[in-house]
Every structure is written in structure tokens, then in C-alpha cells.
Amino acid sequence: MRTFSLFSSLLAISQLLLLLPSAARGSDTLFKGGTVLSFDNVTESVKVLYNTSVLVSGSQIVSIFPQSQNVTLSPGTEVIPSEGKIMSPGFVDTHRHLWQSAFRTLGSNTSLAEYFFRYSEFTQAGTVFTPDDVYYGQIIGIYESLNAGVTSILDHAHHTWSNATALAGLNASIASGARVWWCYAFHNLTNGYTREDQLADFEYLSQYGPWRNSSTTTLGLAYDPISLDPPPLVQTVVNVAK
Ligand SMILES: [Zn+2]
């Protein structure tokens, strides 16, 4: 699947389902007696469940039930005391530039205009950052996200100022094991890496890129100058996206 991203186009809401207790199966884990942040489909609002247990079998939640309820567990079920803990669905970050983690702590109190001139792909970053710099910024940003409870990220990947830096960010996304929609950005750069170069690289990665062997990273496309480009070029990009 390719994801067509304009600024932040992916809106994904995950939720815990309230299920009835059921018989446990192999490799089960019981999170016992925590506070569960669930979702009420009727009121469309967060529903807090106190003193609640969550039974996980393999990688799936099979039941959520009051801590006081007696449930027969399968032998070998790992019980994790969860009193005082909060269990919530993983967050979905719909707009991130992971490579820019290298700028962490430098960008506070920065306006959008200042951002473009200081930290964007249109600055000296496009000539100074090596593929390794992009790789480590990318993977550190992903690990930061996981640590904060983000489990899925749409990366507006505008570190695509050369074939090598594009591949570095993609490889870091795959290596992280996180769920990433890595969206190759098309842009008008000044370092000589033309739109034709970008389109050719995207086509190559689309057909032969390492994401094809990944179960967690998906290739997408990000296209900021869609409103500035001449219609024939827009059509070309749209055709590529399809
Ligand atoms: Zn952005």
C-alpha cells in the first residue's frame, strides 16, 4: 500500500475493545488490576476503567474485565501486577520528520519561517548531513516515539535530498521495527538533486526498495508543493503515487 500524504493526511484512531472474558490460550499474559483507557463508541469519548485486568494471548487482547472477576487462566500465564499503572492504546503520530531529531532542543521558540531557514531540508542540512547522520536522527526519533507510547508514525520524510540520504532514513525505519509509513517527500531543492532525480529514486525504491521485505514499514509519498507546481508535473506525481 502506498500512502498519499499531504501535510497530515493519515488519521488513525485505535481503541481497545471491551470484550467478554474468554478462555485463555497459549503464551498468555495477564495485566492485572490496572487503569484502562478505553473508548465508548456510543458517547464517542474516552472511557476510564479502574481496577481492570487485560488478558493478552500472543499479540492480541482477548478480554478486558474487572479485577474482581474470577477468570480461568491457562497454565503458564504470565501475570503482571498493574496496580497504579495506566494501559492505553498506542498513539498514532500522523506527521513527523524523524531525521530532524538531530536538532532536538535547538528548535524551541522557533517560528515556522525561522524553521524553514534554520532546520529544514532547504538549509545547509541538505549538504552537511551525511546518510549516517540521517540514519541516526531517524532511528533515535523512532525510539523516542516508542518510549512516549507512539506505536505508529507517518514520517513526512523530507531528508530526500540524495539517493543515499533517502535510503538511510528508509533503512532506519525498517531497522527500528516500529510501524512506519515512510513518505518520500518531493521538493524543489537547491543542491542539484532535481525533481527528476527524486521521481526516479522514488520509482526505484517503490520497485526494489528494502521496505518490500518489511512487515512494519510501508512506502508512501509526501508532496508539499502540489499547489505550486504546474499541472502536468502534479499529474506526473499523482500517476507515480498510483
Ligand atoms: Zn511538518
Distance 10 CA to ligand 1 centre (A): 13
Which pLDDT score, from 0 to 100, does residue 26 have? 54
Residue extents of the structural domains in the chain: 3-11+91-241, 28-87
Section 61-79 average pLDDT: 94
- Whether 184 contacts 99, CB under 8 Å: no
Q: Is the dihedral of CA 158, 8, 207, 202 positive or negative?
A: negative
- The share of the chain scoring above pLDDT 90, in percent, equals 72
Distance 57 CA to ligand 1 centre (A): 37
Write the pLDDT tens digit of every residue in 142-156.
999 999 999 999 999
Distance 4 CA to ligand 1 centre (A): 15
For the cut 90, the answer to whether the pLDDT of residue 24 exceeds it is no
Which pLDDT score, from 0 to 100, does residue 126 have? 85
**Which CATH code is given to the segment(s) 3-11+91-241?**
3.20.20.140
Distance 96 CA to ligand 1 centre (A): 6
Residue 108 binned pLDDT confidence (cut-offs 50, 70, 90): confident
Average pLDDT of the chain, as a whole number = 88
pTM score: 0.75
CATH topology for 28-87 is: Urease, subunit C; domain 1 (2.30.40)
Region of residue 149 (left: phi > 0; alpha: psi -120 to 50; beta: else): left
Distance 39 CA to ligand 1 centre (A): 29
Distance 156 CA to ligand 1 centre (A): 7
- Whether 49 contacts 64, CB under 8 Å: yes
Section 170-189 average pLDDT: 96
Write the pLDDT tens digit of every residue in 115-137.
988 999 998 888 899 999 999 99
Which pLDDT score, from 0 to 100, does residue 59 have? 83
Distance 155 CA to ligand 1 centre (A): 9
Residue 107 binned pLDDT confidence (cut-offs 50, 70, 90): confident
- Residue 29 pairs in a beta bridge with 56, 78
Distance 108 CA to ligand 1 centre (A): 15
For the cut 80, the answer to whether the pLDDT of residue 63 exceeds it is yes
For the cut 60, the answer to whether the pLDDT of residue 9 exceeds it is no
Distance 154 CA to ligand 1 centre (A): 11
Q: Which residue has the higher pLDDT, 88 or 169?
A: 169
Dist CA 14 CA 9 (whole Å):
16
Q: Is the dihedral of CA 95, 99, 100, 104 positive or negative?
A: positive
Residue 10 binned pLDDT confidence (cut-offs 50, 70, 90): very low
Section 102-115 average pLDDT: 89
